[in-house]
Amino acid sequence: MDLQLFKNFLVSLSQVFPVNFDFRDIKGSVLFSGNKKVSLPILRGLERVAGQVTSKESFQYLRIEDKYDLFGVPVLNSGRVVGVLTACDNGVEQDVPGPKTYPAHHMEQLLTHLAGLIEDKLSSMDESEKLAEELAKSFEDLNLYARITPQIKTLRFSPAKLEELNKDLLESMRAQMGFAFMPDRPEYNSLITVGEIDGKITQSSAFIEALINAIPPDAPSLVDNYFIVNNSSQTPGYQKMHAEPFRFLGVRIRHGGKFYGWLGMVSFNMKEIFRQGEMSLVISVAEQVALVISNSDLYRDLESFVINVGKSLVFAIEAKDAYTRGHSERVNRYCMLMAEHLDLDEDQQKVLNWASILHDVGKIGTPESILNKPDKLTDAEYEIIKAHPLKGYNILRPLDQLADSLPGILYHHERYDGGGYPRGFKGEEIPLYGRIIAIADTFDAISSNRAYRSAKPGKAALKIIKEVAGSQLDPGLVEVFETVFHASLDQKEEQDNTSTSVALRA
């Protein structure tokens, strides 16, 4: 409250009227005064009047020494006394009638009117403070929404990102539990708790399911995709769910008529309620989550279609060349073993997976006479073979889903010493995926039958691989390949021994 404004106002009134005005808090302390000097008996009398006003919450009158008249009225805010407005005649030389006379009634009216002005100002200021608080909160909500929207609007939205989003919402909502519940997509389910709620709810999953199952299917608010419980002890279906009353907000994750699940918030703080702005925030977030899950499904279906088309091309190539049948699958298997040893993350492994499967897709236009030729290729024929990485790149380039895999396809025939094709890149200029595929491709070519030579055993093929490390192949990655080769060999021997043992027992 602007105390200086009221002080100046009451000082002016005290100068105009033959009385002195004071404004006190409910403890009797003077917050501001008309500044006319008053005697000690008057001060004590005013304290008595203020006390009576506070206790009785009504206009009070006191005459002391049969000479001084003291008055007081309560100042209310939100229905309760927050202060006392007092007045005294300060012994001016004129008679001030008692409270039942007309002039005393006017004094009551005057003080009540002044108190009303103060109350209006207090109410207005409270509303302003509430509005400011609401605006501040709305800004926080808007800031949160602006921060989380980029996390949501991505084709690679993941359960981990949804859990992070849930955590951000929980901090904004003044709640102790936040959850995402999707019955048909359990990988997206998440639960975030803060404070002492873990001690209150021991079976979180069962509690969440109970919250959802208790939502009335005909609840009017479900038209807007939300359901709210501001006090569980007063809400049918929720009264016996927990010994302590709680608040619950559940919002449907829904898009295009398809229902995915619920976003929910729970709080045991009954001094608060879920505000309209908070509900709007969660509803908006749920809509965005549903939209991106829908888009992710479409993207995944499209990606699967694209990959299957690519695989069909590979099968078509291998159908033309009996010697390379299964080559792409074997190269892919070697590459993924190396990726695991290199601790490549999920996205990197996905990129390498498709690059290794599709690395020879450019051979689709290569004549069978060249692919199956048992003799040495002519220079012209070799140039046709050398064109297949670039052809594969150009075939797959229009497919956005494979954009990150293209470098592995284009550069898998580059040499570590710079003598490869199509660009003549050297060392680590060659993209990592290209260097990995080059090793797997070379090993499988050596260890498989070809039209122009017979296959070499795995260990002999590995020996050749090690001999060209540093010239044709990345020496560091060759060491990785050797490690996974021996690990794979040991595992195969162990499986063979187990199978033999089982057969002998039989």
Is there a domain that residue 18 lies in?
A: yes
277 and 157 share a domain?
A: yes
Is there a domain that residue 139 lies in?
A: no
Selected residue with higher pLDDT from 455 and 92: 455
Q: Which domain holds residue 32?
A: 3-127
The DSSP result for 315-379, as a single string, is HHHHHH-GGGTTHHHHHHHHHHHHHHHTT--HHHHHHHHHHHHTTTGGGGGS-HHHHT--SPPPH
Mean pLDDT of 480-490: 87
Over the stretch 12-61, which tens digit does the pLDDT of each residue have?
A: 666 666 778 888 888 878 877 776 677 888 888 889 999 999 989 889 98
Is there a domain that residue 162 lies in?
A: yes
Over the stretch 429-446, which tens digit does the pLDDT of each residue have?
A: 999 999 999 999 999 999
340 and 259 share a domain?
A: no
pLDDT band for position 133 (cuts 50, 70, 90) = low
Max avg pLDDT among 125-134, 264-273, 379-388? 379-388
Where a domain ends, among 110, 127, 144?
A: 127
166 and 106 share a domain?
A: no
> What whole-number distance in Å separates Cα of residue 372 and Cα of residue 223?
66
Q: pLDDT at position 275, please?
A: 80
Q: pLDDT at position 27, please?
A: 81
289 and 325 share a domain?
A: no
Max avg pLDDT among 62-76, 221-235, 442-456? 221-235
Q: pLDDT at position 99, please?
A: 39
- Determine which of 194-203, 383-392, 403-412, 455-464 has the lowest per-residue pLDDT on average: 194-203
Over the stretch 316-340, which tens digit does the pLDDT of each residue have?
A: 777 776 666 788 889 999 999 999 9
CB 430 within 8 A of CB 416: yes
Q: pLDDT at position 501, please?
A: 41
> What whole-number distance in Å separates Cα of residue 152 and Cα of residue 170?
16
Reading phi first (left if > 0) and then psi (alpha if -120 to 50, else beta), residue 343 is in: left
- CATH number, residue 376: 1.10.3210.10
Indicate yes or no: pTM above 0.95: no
- CATH number, residue 47: 3.30.450.40
325 and 275 share a domain?
A: no
Selected residue with higher pLDDT from 36 and 150: 36
pLDDT band for position 414 (cuts 50, 70, 90) = very high
Q: pLDDT at position 341, please?
A: 95
107 and 173 share a domain?
A: no
Where a domain ends, among 86, 109, 127?
A: 127
342 and 455 share a domain?
A: yes
> What whole-number distance in Å separates Cα of residue 28 and Cα of residue 47?
6
382 and 289 share a domain?
A: no
Q: pLDDT at position 107, please?
A: 75
Tell me the pLDDT of the chain averaged across its residues.
81
Q: pLDDT at position 321, please?
A: 66
Burial 165-202 (b: 16+ CB within 10 A, else e): bbebbbebbbbbbbbbbbeeeeebbbbbbeeebeebbe
Query: What number of other Cβ atoms are within 10 A of residue 217's Cβ?
Result: 5
Is there a domain that residue 244 lies in?
A: yes
Tell me: pLDDT of 63 over 80: yes
Tell me: pLDDT of 498 over 50: no
Burial of 500 (0-12, 13-18, 19+ CB in 10 A): exposed
Is there a domain that residue 117 lies in?
A: yes
361 and 288 share a domain?
A: no
pLDDT band for position 199 (cuts 50, 70, 90) = low
Tell me: pLDDT of 504 over 90: no
457 and 328 share a domain?
A: yes
Is there a domain that residue 428 lies in?
A: yes
Q: pLDDT at position 259, please?
A: 93
CB 406 within 8 A of CB 396: yes
Where a domain ends, among 127, 142, 161?
A: 127
Q: pLDDT at position 24, please?
A: 86
Q: pLDDT at position 126, please?
A: 58
251 and 356 share a domain?
A: no
Is there a domain that residue 310 lies in?
A: no
Domain count for the chain:
3
Mean pLDDT of 233-255: 92
327 and 227 share a domain?
A: no
Q: pLDDT at position 431, please?
A: 97
- Determine which of 162-176, 230-244, 461-475 has the lowest per-residue pLDDT on average: 162-176
Selected residue with higher pLDDT from 7 and 329: 329
Is there a domain that residue 381 lies in?
A: yes
Tell me: pLDDT of 130 over 70: no
Tell me: pLDDT of 157 over 70: no
